[in-house]
Amino acid sequence: MLDGQIDSAANLLAAPTPPPAAPPGLEATGNLFIGWMKWILIVAGVGGLLVCGIMMAVGRRNRSAFAADGAAGIPWVLAGLTCGAVAAVVVGAVLPG
């Protein structure tokens, strides 16, 4: 009998977990904003890799530190692109809806 009362009390104290829902009229705006952010990520990633390549090409002769800085920038650009690519998956795993 006591177990039943404890279970019912725990059910009453449980926080509700409604699924995520966009405010009325903002779903299209939110999707548009996320689309813009993805586009900016792609442009910044391509630009970053191009800059790294230019630094490596320019620094090939007599400027080895410049070339090394360009090569060292590639993992950072790829890490940023990876973060952007898995952002929705990570948020979905942390806040399941």
pLDDT > 70 fraction of the chain, expressed in percent and rounded: 85
Q: Can you tell me the mean pLDDT for 92-97?
A: 82
State the average pLDDT over residues 45-67: 91
pLDDT for residue 37 is more than 70: yes
How much is the pLDDT for 4?
66
Contact assessment for residue 71 and residue 56, using Cβ atoms and an 8 Å cutoff: yes
Distance CA 14, CA 26 (A): 30
pLDDT of 6 over the 80 cut? no
Structural domain spans, the chain: 50-79
SS3 for 17? coil
pTM of the model: 0.72
CA distance readout (Å), 92 to 25, 53, 79, 95: 23, 35, 20, 5
